[in-house]
Amino acid sequence: MVSAKTVDIGRYVTVATPLGEIFAIDSAEVRLPLTEKDLARIDLIKHSGNAELPAVTLNATVASQPVQWSAKVVRSEGVVDQLNRSQYLVAQINDPYGVVGSATDNGSPLLMGTFVRAEIVGKTINNVYAVPRHALMEGNKVALVDSQKRLRLTSVESSHGDDQFYYVNAGLVDGAEIIVSAMGAAIEGMLVRPVGSAN
pLDDT digit string, tens, across residues 59-107: 988 888 888 888 888 888 888 888 888 888 899 998 888 887 655 556 7
**DSSP per position, 4-68:** EE---TT----TT---EEE---SEEEEEEEE-HHHHHTSPPPPSSTTPPPPEEEEEEEETTEEEE
Does residue 10 form part of some domain? no
Are 130 and 157 members of one domain? yes
Same domain, 137 and 166: yes
Question: What is the count of structural domains for the chain?
Answer: 2
Cα(24)–Cα(171) distance, integer angstroms:
53
Q: Is residue 15 part of a domain?
A: no
What is the distance between the alpha carbons of residues 166 and 148, in angstroms, rounded to a whole number?
27
Domain contains 84: yes
Alpha carbon distance 115, 30 (integer Å): 10
- Specify whether 100 is located in the same domain as 130: no
Looking at 79, 99, 120, the residue that finishes a domain is: 120
pLDDT one-digit tens code per residue, 13-68: 999 999 999 988 888 899 989 888 887 777 665 544 555 677 889 998 888 888 88
**Domain span holding position 116:** 23-120
Is residue 115 located within the same domain as residue 27?
yes
Distance between alpha carbon 156 and the CA centroid of its chain, in Å?
25
Whether this prediction's pTM lies above 0.85 is answered by no
d(CA 14, CA 20): 14
The CATH number given to whatever domain includes residue 172 is: 2.40.420.20
Any domain includes 2: no
Q: Which of 67, 90, 120 is the last residue of a domain?
A: 120
d(CA 57, CA 32): 12
